[in-house]
Amino acid sequence: MSTSSRIRAGLGAVPLVAALAFGGVTADAATSPHASSSRHVASDLTASSTPSPTFGWVPGVALGQRVNALRDGQAGLTSVACASPGDCTAVGQTESKPFSYAQAPTGQALVATETAGVWDAGARVAVSLNRGDDAKLTSVACTSPGNCVAVGQFENGAKDTRALVVTQAHGRWNGGVEVARTLSTGSSAGLGSVSCSSAGNCAAVGVVSPAGYSDGGVALVVTETAGIWNAGIELPLGLSALDSVSCPANGQCTAVGWESTTLGGIRPIATISSDDVWGGPVVIGASLTPSKDESLLASVSCGAAGDCTAVGWADQYSSTSALHSQALVASEVSGVWRPAIEVARGVNAGRNAELNSVSCTSPVSCTAVGYFVDRLGRYHFLGVTESGRVWSAGSTIVEGPESARSGASMISVSCVAPRDCMAVGSELIGDYLEMVGTRLSGARWIQTTIVAHRLAQADGLESVIVPTAIACSPGLECAAVGRFADVTKFQGMVVDHR
């Protein structure tokens, strides 16, 4: 599953490449050909009412501020993993210099750890590697409490962006290492997703921009075997990126993303490793991507080796140049990808739907979340479930009583058993962005409510809360991360569900 930050205007998602910096493009500027759309901003804003009390959610905690070198610096968390109930790790970035439009952004890689239900204040890592002063962590995976791997990027002294891996062993983080060094000589590289099947056995994916590339890069895979990272490989593609990876067993991983077409569109791709040997990329659902249309897979989850599910969206341009999108699902069965299918067409009356995240608990049981638009142009939470290789028609996730039903998107989902999941997203209420949590129990989505509202309110500011990821352990003990507005800046935040 994908643990990378994929928020577009607070609603919807963008590919991994949006989180990486190439050629002076910052982490907040999406370089993907899919990411420039303004269609995800809802316009029918209405006044909000007082938030209802949360159920099961612990009041949010601000993280990253104490380790920030600046009094007014910013911080944010992009990914979280939980090895057991109350033992989680979150990663992101904290600023190291005051913001200025006249200079490139700066920052340090940020980690925060929860032990027995208590979060520490966070810490900066890979500081000595980050001589160019712009590092960030975008994804984390944990195999047991205190043993995790996080990936992202940093800048060297020559201001080149490099792929970064930091490792936590027995609760202590190392100084970080550069991976794919030989591939990124004279270019830029970054990692956006990592998955570990056991300690010392992981895979990470992203993008590398070889010398001569002026825009974007090529899909990148690096693999750790018995604690040693390989040199990495570039997929034999043109402009492309891998957004998400899932490893259900040692040496058995599946990664998904996109590649550019010769006509200017993008189409979904996948690649599979067997015994740590990666196969060539496979184009999935090419028939869904004629001419200049754009389709991609943004998140993947594997219920078993060779049995995975990926989700995303398929954009299609009509004869009048109007843009429409459908929620997209692709399944790998016994190592073979089936043609991608569009789901939730019945509820997607506004012809604008996406799936942002998927979580599978077995080869035949998965849940995915995102959003769809109704006939009036209003955004709604979307949930689809798979049971026995059959996908549901899609359903509206119940919105809270204070919902304006104006701008809603589920960002991330985590399941602990079939149809037993938690999801988080964002919703425009009034003029402000709220974080929303919901639960799938059996066939119904229940307990949708605003969470972390009091965290933003503590500084006398109406809520601006951007969730990025959620991870759950058995018993639906979960941690959700993101950032919230603190008067004049954003700070990292975590909200637990117990």
Q: Is residue 9 domain-resident?
A: no
Q: What is the value of pTM for the model shown?
A: 0.84
Q: By residue range, what is the domain housing residue 475?
A: 16-29+47-497
Terminal alpha carbon distance of the chain: 22
Q: Is residue 165 domain-resident?
A: yes
Q: Is residue 35 domain-resident?
A: no
Residue 140 has pLDDT above 60, yes or no: yes
- The distance of Cα 157 from the centroid of its chain, to the nearest Å, equals 29
Q: How far is 60 from 202, CA to CA, in rounded Å?
A: 31
Number of domains comprising the chain: 1
Poorest-confidence range of 34-43, 138-147, 342-351?
34-43
Poorest-confidence range of 144-148, 193-197, 249-253, 399-403?
399-403
Poorest-confidence range of 195-209, 267-281, 295-309, 423-437?
423-437
Residue 419, Cβ neighbours under 10 Å: how many?
A: 17
DSSP state of 18: G
CATH number of the domain that 109 lies in? Answer: 2.130.10.150
DSSP for 291-320, written as a single string? TT-EEEEEEEEEEETTEEEEEEEEEEE-TT
What is the percentage of the chain residues whose pLDDT exceeds 70?
73
Q: Is residue 252 domain-resident?
A: yes
Q: Is residue 6 domain-resident?
A: no
Q: Is residue 452 domain-resident?
A: yes
State mean pLDDT over 121-128: 88
Q: Is residue 4 domain-resident?
A: no
Q: Given pLDDT bands bounded at 50, 70 and 90, which one contains residue 493?
A: confident
| Distances, alpha carbon 176 to alpha carbons 304, 338, 410, in Å | 30, 38, 32
Q: Is residue 492 domain-resident?
A: yes
State mean pLDDT over 151-178: 92
